[in-house]
Amino acid sequence: MIRPGSLGGGPATGQTWAVSDDPIKVFLLDDHDLVRRGLRDLLEAHGGFEVVGEAGTADQALKRIPATQPQVAILDVRLPDGSGVEVCREIRSRMPEVACLILTSFSDDEALFNSIMAGAAGYLLKQIRENDLVGAIECVASGQSLLDPELTGRVLERLRQGDPEDELLARLTGQERKIVALIGEGLTNRQIGERLHLAEKTVKNYVSRLLPKMGMSRRTEVAIYVARLDERGNH
Give the pLDDT score at 139: 92
Domain 151-233 has CATH 3.40.50.2300: no
Correct CATH for 24-147 of 1.20.1740.10, 3.40.50.2300, 3.40.50.720, 3.40.30.10: 3.40.50.2300
pLDDT of 87 strictly over 60 = yes
Task: Confirm if 52 and 25 have CB atoms less than 8 A apart.
Answer: yes
Give the pLDDT score at 99: 94
DSSP string, the chain: ---TT----SSPTT------SSPEEEEEE-S-HHHHHHHHHHHHHHSSEEEEEEESSHHHHHHHHHHH--SEEEEESEETTEEHHHHHHHHHHH-TTSEEEEEESS--HHHHHHHHHHT-SEEEETT--HHHHHHHHHHHHTT---S-HHHHHHHHHHHHH--TT-HHHHTS-HHHHHHHHHHHTT--HHHHHHHHT--HHHHHHHHHHHHHHTT-SSHHHHHHHHHHHHHHHT-
Average pLDDT over residues 39-52: 93
* Higher-scoring residue by pLDDT: 64, 217: 64
- Residue type at 104? T
The CA distance from 134 to 202, in Å, is: 38
pLDDT tens, 202-212?
999 999 999 88
68-82, 98-112, 122-136: least confidently modelled range: 98-112
Average pLDDT over residues 68-88: 92
Give the pLDDT score at 93: 84
pLDDT of 231 strictly over 80 = no
Quote the percentage of the chain above a pLDDT of 70.
Answer: 79
Q: Mean pLDDT score of the chain, rounded to an integer?
A: 81
Spans of all domains in the chain: 24-147, 151-233
pLDDT of 161 strictly over 80 = no
pLDDT of 180 strictly over 50 = yes
Considering the entire predicted model, what is its pTM?
Answer: 0.61
Give the pLDDT score at 28: 98
Average pLDDT over residues 11-28: 66
* Higher-scoring residue by pLDDT: 231, 37: 37
Task: Confirm if 48 and 94 have CB atoms less than 8 A apart.
Answer: no
Maximum Cα interatomic distance, the chain, rounded to a whole number of Å: 53
CA distances from 58 to 73, 84, 135, 189 (A): 12, 7, 25, 26
Length of the chain: 235
Give the pLDDT score at 157: 64
pLDDT of 179 strictly over 80 = yes
Confidence of residue 19 (pLDDT cuts 50, 70, 90): very low
Confidence of residue 221 (pLDDT cuts 50, 70, 90): confident
Give the pLDDT score at 4: 30
Give the pLDDT score at 230: 65
Task: Confirm if 194 and 215 have CB atoms less than 8 A apart.
Answer: no
